[in-house]
Chains A and B, each alone.
Chain A
Amino acid sequence: MVENRPWLTFFSHAVLILGVIAVAFPLYVTFVASTLTLEQIMQVPMQLTPGDQLVENYSQVLSGGSTKGSKAAVSQMLFNSLVMALVIPLGKMAISVISAFAIVYFRFPLRMFFFWMIFVTLMLPVEVRILPTYKVIADLGMLNTYAGLTVPLIASATATFLFRQFFMTIPDELAEAARVDGASPMRFFWDVVLPLSKTIMAALFVIQFIYGWNQYLWPLLITTDESMYTTVIGIKRMIVGSDSANEWNLIMATAILAMLPPALVVMLMQKWFVKGLVETEK
């Protein structure tokens, strides 16, 4: 701090506390709603202290979903979300790290062509090619499968760039020494490059875990079978009509369950999260 201005410090804290409250308020109301009965929620204004229905609501959604909308068990949806949140980052890292390795450590015809091909995918997000991508998945028979949910989202220019950038900072002496010692390229990859990339992989994993868990448009397009819904899709399918037609207590319990894993990852792995966020956007 440059100078002591008690009033300004007080003002700063006031702004920050207001910010924290504004950010947390929807979460708090959601949590309270998930512990009430539907009748209690319908009483306007809704009470703002937690009720006693926590166990009932959560066990209802985990085992049987809602009664008016989607009846799929949320435990199954959480499992599906977890599959997406784990397979996407792991698959993405696996294919990106080897392609970046090839592009950095080899000279071969079409090298730059491949590099640009990967680069261009940045400009083709799912949102802009909704219909044809859906058709491709349907033609390949990948609707309502885990492969359909994960494989198309694995290709990523950002991850490849990140690894490429990082490999460029690995001293050439290491590769030279490996070559002098007669190590094969793959030996060098396993024993030198991968161990050095651990930090960057951890950071990437945190970001991609959240990305995979929170996917929306993609599962919305290719899952029609209730048992393949992810949690986020499940919430949407529980909303059947306007305001009073919905079982808000169950929807809100599901929302809490859907937010908990990624929020915990962000808060507990904050260091990796911040690193991943800042690095991937460079």
Chain B
Amino acid sequence: MEKRVVFRSAWLPYALVAPQIAITLVFFFWPAVQAVWYSFQLQDAFGLKTQFVGLLNFAHLFRDGNYLASFKTTAVFSVAVAGAGISISLLLATMADRVLRGAMAYKTLLIWPYAVAPAIAGVLWAFLFAPSIGIVTYVLKGWGVDWNWILKGDQAMLLVVIASVWKEISYNFLFFLAGLQSIPKPLIEAAAIDGAGPARRFWTIVFPLLSPTTFFLLVVNIVYAFFDTFGVIDATTQGGPGQATNILVYKVYHDGIKAADFGGSSAQSVILMFIVIALTVVQFRYIEKKVEY
């Protein structure tokens, strides 16, 4: 896509892109280059000497049980967040698309969690599930569940998944609702006349037509679970107990800032960069496909 009519100036276009390019260079490219550079270096315990070690940091990482465990934790976490987030929002959006009365009110009441910062979502749920004073904990105890996410890894995971999903439902809901509303009504009506019930219509017509939206949301939700949930984790479990909720992004932060392991943390950053690049490519491939329709 190119414009037919353009203006001419020897300097103006450069002046116009300059601010953005300057910020991009200083705060994006320079740090990214440094991350790659650090990832090939090893620093001694006092931070006095650095030494070029090639791929040693990466080799260390892939032999480090904690790092591999963090990969697994991230996989479990993102599949749980994306899976639960997408199915719950799809259910709610399908219902909201059906009802005539109060549709606007439901929408308004379901979208506001988008405005809540991930860290606050974490704090809210951590309070509800607090081992000694939480109100949900109290109910769970009544049912005989021994709830203490501060000590139990799987419960800590459940907590951060719930908080993350709660925050992301509104986003998915809006996209599903928009997708549902763009499905041509005659298709549904024709199926109804042919005698297909609501469930049948949903699975054979609506769901396949929604698949582009679902796929898009799957990518977005995985990106969200990988990166934006940092706040949820930091405000609640901080990766613990043990390594139970130590997702990759949190580990980069923890190893780099808290444990001051420059080389190791930078090598992890570089690996994360590759993951982001892969996810972005997948996302744009899909968008190109959509344009072809």
Contact = CB atoms under 8 A, between A and B. Distances in A.
B109 A185 contact: no
Given A13-B99, A132-B31, A217 B120 contact: no
B34 A135 contact: yes
Nearest to A210: B115
Nearest to B256: A131
23 contacts: A13-B102, A15-B91, A16-B92, A16-B96, A16-B102, A22-B166, A24-B109, A26-B124, A26-B125, A107-B6, A120-B28, A124-B276, A128-B276, A130-B253, A172-B5, A175-B7, A216-B234, A236-B123, A242-B132, A243-B133, A251-B123, A252-B127, A273-B114
B77 interface: no
B100 interface: yes
A79 to B, nearest CB: 17
Given A1-B98, A23-B166, A129-B31, 4 more contacts: A127-B249, A127-B272, A175-B5, A236-B123
A108 B114 CA distance: 41
A131 B265 contact: yes
A220 B234 contact: yes
Contact of A267 (B16, B96, B108): B108
A194 B21 CA distance: 21
Contacts of A55: none
Given A105-B6, A176-B5, A278-B178, A136 B27 contact: yes
Contacts of B146: none
Interface stretch (B49-57, B58-66, B168-176): B168-176
A185 B31 contact: no
A265 interface: yes
Contact of A154 (B23, B30, B107): B23
Nearest to B223: A125
B132 A244 contact: yes
Contact of A44 (B14, B31, B119, B133): B133
Q: Which are the 6 A-B pairs with shortest beta-carbon distances?
A: A262-B115, A102-B16, A214-B117, A132-B31, A132-B34, A106-B13
Given A44-B133, A216-B231, A277-B174, A267 B112 contact: yes
